[in-house]
Amino acid sequence: MATATFPKKPPSPNNAYVVEHVEPTPATQVYLPEIFKGLGVAMKHFFRNTKEMVRGERPDPVTESISQGITTISYPEQKRPYPERFRGLHRLTQRDDGSPRCVACLCCSTACPAQCIFIEAGEYPEGDARRGYERYPVKFVIDELRCIFCGYCVEACPCDAIRMDTGMHAVPYDSREQFIYRKDLLLAASGRDGSHETANPRHEPGDESHPGVTRHHMTH
């Protein structure tokens, strides 16, 4: 006769503890005092919330989680401000002439754990001061659906060319195509302060401070 083997009962988890049994007392056995206690708590909240609603008082949304009072906000009309370091949608920062600061070094797409950044690097056209010195991104595509908003691309960027300081969270769209952010869209986005540049200065070819000033005795 074949004996069926049953799986072993799993061991009890280590964090299990015995709940203390509360002995009933006459005060709890008659119910009414406890019911009034509970109602008291409910009414306290009811009156405070009503007072705050009538006065239009709102707790500070930043500290609301640790303060007393109503914690509900009417979402689309009222929004909680995001913290200063919130990583929102990406933007490409601009130089003074509006071109991207990006030099297509591919550090961000290399660092990206979700592999959502695609860059096609290209040479600046003939006659450009940066030709032969830098590259620029012909295509710069971020798939925001794949992005996990880890900020590694911003960490990796040696030129401060990609940032996540737009303060916008991912927007709901109705097609996948709309989540593919391309260069012009990324360049059009501004930081939370409304600027398209960054606070970090850049030396451009031709500046006095720019590397590569030609010596007066240079012959080639």
Partner 1 sequence: MPTFTYDGTTIPFEPGETIIKAAWRQGIEIPHYCWHPGLSAPANCRMCLVEIAPAPGQRAMMLDVLEWDPALNDYRPRQKPKLQPACQMQAAEGMQVRGDTSENVREARKGVQEFLLLNHPVDCPICDQSGECKLQDYWLEHGQYQKRMRDEPIHKPKAVRFGPSIVYDAERCVMCTRCIRFMDEVAQDPVLDMRERGNLNEVFVAPGRELTGHYTFMTEHVCPVGALTTVDFRFKARVWFLRTAKSVCQGCATGCNAHLDYDPRYNKVYRYRPRDNEQVNQYWMCDEGMVSYKRAHTDRVLDPRVKGATATVKKALEAAKSQLEGVPGEGVAVVLSAQHSLEDNWALRELAGTFLGTRSFYATGLGEGYADTILIHADKNPNTRGVLELVPSLRSFGQLIDDIEAGKITHVIALGGETPVADSRTEAALDRLAGLVVIAAHDGPLARAAHVILPATSWAESSGTYVNAKGLHQVAEKAIEPQGAAAPGWQLVAELGQALGYDAQWTKLKQVRARMIQVPTVPESFTVRPSSQATP
Looking at the Cβ atoms of 89 and 157, the one nearer to partner 1 is 157
One-letter amino acid of 55? R
Least gap, CB of 181 to partner 1 (angstroms): 21
Residues that bind partner 1 (CB under 8 A): 103, 105-107, 110, 121, 123, 132-135, 158-159, 209-215, 218-220
Please tell me the distance from the alpha carbon of residue 213 to that of residue 161, in angstroms, as a whole number: 24
Looking at the Cβ atoms of 14 and 214, the one nearer to partner 1 is 214
105-122: b (≥16 Cβ within 10 Å) or e:
bbbbbebbeeebbbbebe
Burial class (CB in 10 A: 0-12, 13-18, 19+), 129: middle
List, as residue ranges, the binding site for [4Fe-4S] cluster. 102, 105, 108, 112, 147, 150, 153, 157
64-73: b (≥16 Cβ within 10 Å) or e:
beeeeeeeee
Least gap, CB of 186 to partner 1 (angstroms): 18
Least gap, CB of 103 to partner 1 (angstroms): 5
Looking at the Cβ atoms of 37 and 220, the one nearer to partner 1 is 220
Looking at the Cβ atoms of 148 and 213, the one nearer to partner 1 is 213
- What is the tally of helices (H) and strands (E) in the chain? 5, 5
